[in-house]
A and B are shown apart, each in its own frame.
Chain A
């Protein structure tokens, strides 16, 4: 059965851990530890990108996150009112290029792309809507009947 969890707050660095923990806990009875870790990372990176790039330094605004889980997958929609910011516009560099050029950015986008099976983006009425979909790769001990 599908379950829906949602959280609306301010896009602020102090709230990122709260967001991560809220959704990680919601996943705990169905998804396995590996999926939870990766989804936590993905949420973290998306929130940090919205804070840094969509709203930008010194600015803030609302962020709303909706997570729909089923036994097969998790779908997370993140909406903000910042500047247009599409994670799909950025091509993550190869690891060796990162080292060679001393690049410390763009790793979050690379991480999100590795974690998600699908990423969708839409700009609608002054809002960014990014959707992440990840198929379930591991299940919780409870869901596995252990």
Chain B
């Protein structure tokens, strides 16, 4: 199983990280590295496009949750968009909806930063 994370910029200084593949213990470091890199480059308004990811284990969720405070303390945030139904069920089961803003589309997530 592999994971690719592609960085894209949108108008308004929002960084979109397009995630494709399974996010589990063996691949979550790739996601974490992409968030870390964006943060170090002061790209602190992040949207994770999860439309290409059908499976996210606790390791993947951990990579997102662990970075929230760092991003928020510098005026940024991490929002997620376009979760597959399977992924969204787990997101809600874990009550992450009280921690992370989630949107149906990337456009909605980007717009929410304005």
Interface 1/0 per residue, A113-142 and B, CB below 8 Å = 011000000000000000000000000000
| Distance between Cα atoms of A110 and B90 in the complex (Å) | 12
Query: What chain B residues lie within 8 Å of A115 (beta carbons)?
Result: 93
Interface residues on B, range: 20 to 34
Query: What chain B residues lie within 8 Å of A13 (beta carbons)?
Result: 24-26
Q: Tell whether, in the assembled complex, residue B1 and residue A37 are in contact, meaning their CB atoms are under 8 Å apart.
A: no
Query: What chain A residues lie within 8 Å of B26 (beta carbons)?
Result: 13-14
Instruction: Flag whether A145 is at the interface (Cβ < 8 A).
Output: no
Q: Tell whether, in the assembled complex, residue B62 and residue A52 are in contact, meaning their CB atoms are under 8 Å apart.
A: no
Contact of B57 among A14, A33, A45 (CB under 8 A): A45
CB neighbors of A among B38-72 (8 A):
57-59, 61-63, 65-70
Query: What chain B residues lie within 8 Å of A111 (beta carbons)?
Result: 58, 90, 93-94
Segment with Cβ contacts to B, from A3-11, A67-75, A80-88, A96-104: A96-104
Select from chain B the residue with minimum beta-carbon distance to A101.
Answer: B69
Q: Which of B1, B63, B70 has the most CB of A within 10 A?
A: B1
Select from chain B the residue with minimum beta-carbon distance to A98.
Answer: B65
Instruction: Flag whether B98 is at the interface (Cβ < 8 A).
Output: yes
Query: What chain B residues lie within 8 Å of A95 (beta carbons)?
Result: 65, 94-96, 98-99
Please name 25 pairs of A and B residues whose Cβ atoms are closer than 8 Å in the assembled complex, sorted by A. A13-B25, A13-B26, A16-B25, A17-B1, A37-B89, A44-B57, A48-B25, A48-B57, A95-B65, A95-B94, A95-B96, A99-B68, A99-B69, A99-B99, A100-B69, A102-B66, A102-B67, A103-B65, A104-B32, A104-B62, A104-B65, A105-B62, A107-B58, A107-B65, A111-B93
Instruction: Please report A residues at the B interface, Cβ cutoff 8 Å.
Output: 13-14, 16-17, 33-34, 37-38, 41, 44-45, 48, 51-52, 95-96, 98-100, 102-105, 107-108, 110-111, 114-115
